[in-house]
Structure 1
């Protein structure tokens, strides 16, 4: 069978999934426990599919500083062109379970009104592929769904990333489920087969960074032309980690994504203000803190990190935004590792700025 014929067969599987109403859905489960650094939600989350349909796969377990509901986290990538994987191939079912699932769906499809013509022929070819060794050069067919190798490997299938907004990209892993022996890697043509790097990107996507509420002096209410000191202590401002893993018989991989804070940016919420330093970017100190706490006797000093408002906020407030830039890296199974784009996350605080009252004598 040539590649175009194979593509047509894969397309028929998509028709089968739509006809039977089976799609790759996210069905997370949670077991929360506090992370060691006190940030984010440490959960044992299982994201993936609900086990219905041929495009289901082994669930990914998430833990560490990740969202509680399996949704996208609060990290914004500094690289606007970076996106997490829209789909991937992952372990799905053993041979006997795959045979039972596929046989049921094929029979249902054959008995579904309107499933004739090209789609019906393609479904027949798919049945031959798994039952009668009907295949092609780079992927030979299977005899009786490979049941003689049950327990010695698994069929892999495409998994859609439910958080990918582009449906076409999400469904691009549409090849037929294929067999992988325990301890082996998928054939090279399946470039989207799950890897530690893919898991690292998925952990990045679900990472939950701590709120960035800086300590201010004066706090909440300040005066016009009065320098306001800003700082973050290391004790409440530390690196966070998120882990994604797949653990099934014969296949176990994981990746841990680590976010390390590197700088703080202050945006006063009005153009009538100055920042210290002038760029508004406060670098991290050697001890992991940012800025310096205000202490008695420093009133005439310029804060290393802070701001000064040049006019009153009147009857309202200014929205001070504090944004942390996080340096993000990952490590994974087999010594793999690398860098991911820096991430940012910011929060706003209401600041009241009052006029300094003068007394005339």
Structure 2
């Protein structure tokens, strides 16, 4: 059967029979968890009396959001997004046979199951029972149980943090076999790689709050330059790691964010920034800006703001946003660049009029 025929039947079969195989949030977590059978996440695939294991879980460590949540980094590249789905190790051959056989048999015996849907399920069953399967790739003889323990079936995993359901479900190939120690076939572009793990680490990375030091600190004055800076001692690069470790499969990537510049937005149009772009670059020692010191009152700060009117009884919301340079390194010496990221905070700034007394 050609790919067109495979797609027509595969769509129905996947919808009906593989719903349980499309793995959502439980397929990964920030903390190791145990399933309801007491099997740890590291025990993925294989065969003991517990039967079916959960899919390979992605473990996050380092500077990441709690409980596997999305971090606070915003990519500067509006066209870049984390992977909406991927393929991951799922089950050993014996466990996969047990699971698929039960699911297919149950659905074939369901009331009203016939026509194209029933035919699709029958062809799906034949794909895993007959080595001359019906797709554009070879099938499997008896679910490949003769190779149990020598590899795993891989299945689709949805990224629960992807808001578009169509993108989440775009990994819709049938589960496929990968021998231990080998890479998935090249046609499965969304199969887990160090680069995909790096992108997921990026998605879960938690950057520190960006609160700049100001001088004057409590309240500044109209037309008085306000110095702003970040010390290297309290503001340095951060790292997040995503890793998968199951029998026959071990990958990890560490994504590193390094601060490169500070953007100041005064919170009012009646203000000037230093420099005029409002972009304060990082210094050679890793700091940003320069601390104010006695005797610098008549100097122009290398990084700062001058407000041109009072904030009245309220405050201005100064937004300080850091741009971070993002790189990654992974298993096997892989590595590269990811789009720069940003994260910022608002700070309340009180601006007072300078009162003069005429005599």
TM-score (norm 1): 0.90
Deviations 1:168-207 (A, max 9, x none): 1211111110101011111121121111111111111111
Contact 1:125 1:134 in 2 (8 A): no
User: Residue 352 of structure 1: CA displacement?
Assistant: 0.7
1:106 is matched with: 104
Q: Which residues of 2 match residues 113-132 of structure 1 at below 5 A?
A: 113-132=111-130
Deviations 1:60-94 (A, max 9, x none): 11111111032221111111111111111111111
Other structure's SS at 1:163 match: coil
Q: Distance in 2 between matches of 1:114 and 1:211?
A: 57
Contact 2:127 2:134 in 1 (8 A): no
Other structure's SS at 1:69 match: helix
2:37 is matched with: none
Deviations 1:304-358 (A, max 9, x none): 1111101000111100000000000111111111101100111000011000111
Q: Distance in 1 between matches of 2:212 and 2:338?
A: 26
Deviations 1:70-120 (A, max 9, x none): 222111111111111111111111111111111111122122223221111
- The answer to whether residue 72 in structure 2 is matched with residue 59 in structure 1 is no
User: Residue 134 of structure 1: CA displacement?
Assistant: 3.5
Q: Which runs of 5+ in 2 are unaligned?
A: 33-40, 45-51
User: Residue 252 of structure 1: CA displacement?
Assistant: 0.7
Deviations 1:246-294 (A, max 9, x none): 1111111111111000000100000111111111110101110001111
| Of 249-258 and 64-73, the range deviating more from structure 2 | 64-73
User: Residue 21 of structure 1: CA displacement?
Assistant: 7.0
Other structure's SS at 1:327 match: strand
- The answer to whether residue 9 in structure 2 is matched with residue 16 in structure 1 is no
2:145 is matched with: 147
Q: Distance in 2 between matches of 1:148 and 1:22?
A: 22
From the superposition, tell whether residues 277 and 236 of structure 1 become closer, same or farther in structure 2 (CA, over 3 Å).
same
Contact 1:17 1:23 in 2 (8 A): no
From the superposition, tell whether residues 160 and 137 of structure 1 become closer, same or farther in structure 2 (CA, over 3 Å).
closer
From the superposition, tell whether residues 181 and 254 of structure 1 become closer, same or farther in structure 2 (CA, over 3 Å).
same
From the superposition, tell whether residues 76 and 24 of structure 1 become closer, same or farther in structure 2 (CA, over 3 Å).
same
Contact 2:17 2:107 in 1 (8 A): no
Moved over 3 A (4+): 20-23, 28-32
Q: Distance in 2 between matches of 1:22 and 1:201?
A: 23
Q: Distance in 2 between matches of 1:57 and 1:272?
A: 56
Contact 1:224 1:354 in 2 (8 A): yes
Q: Distance in 2 between matches of 1:23 and 1:188?
A: 21
Q: Which residues of 2 match residues 204-353 of structure 1 at below 5 A?
A: 204-353=202-351
TM-score (norm 2): 0.90
Other structure's SS at 2:347 match: strand
Q: Distance in 2 between matches of 1:29 and 1:202?
A: 12
Q: Which runs of 5+ in 1 are unaligned?
A: 33-45
1:357 is matched with: 355
From the superposition, tell whether residues 137 and 29 of structure 1 become closer, same or farther in structure 2 (CA, over 3 Å).
closer
Contact 1:255 1:332 in 2 (8 A): yes
1:26 is matched with: 25
Q: Distance in 1 between matches of 2:245 and 2:61?
A: 13
What RMSD, in angstroms, separates the aligned Cα atoms of the two structures?
2.0
2:5 is matched with: 5
Q: Distance in 2 between matches of 1:218 and 1:85?
A: 45
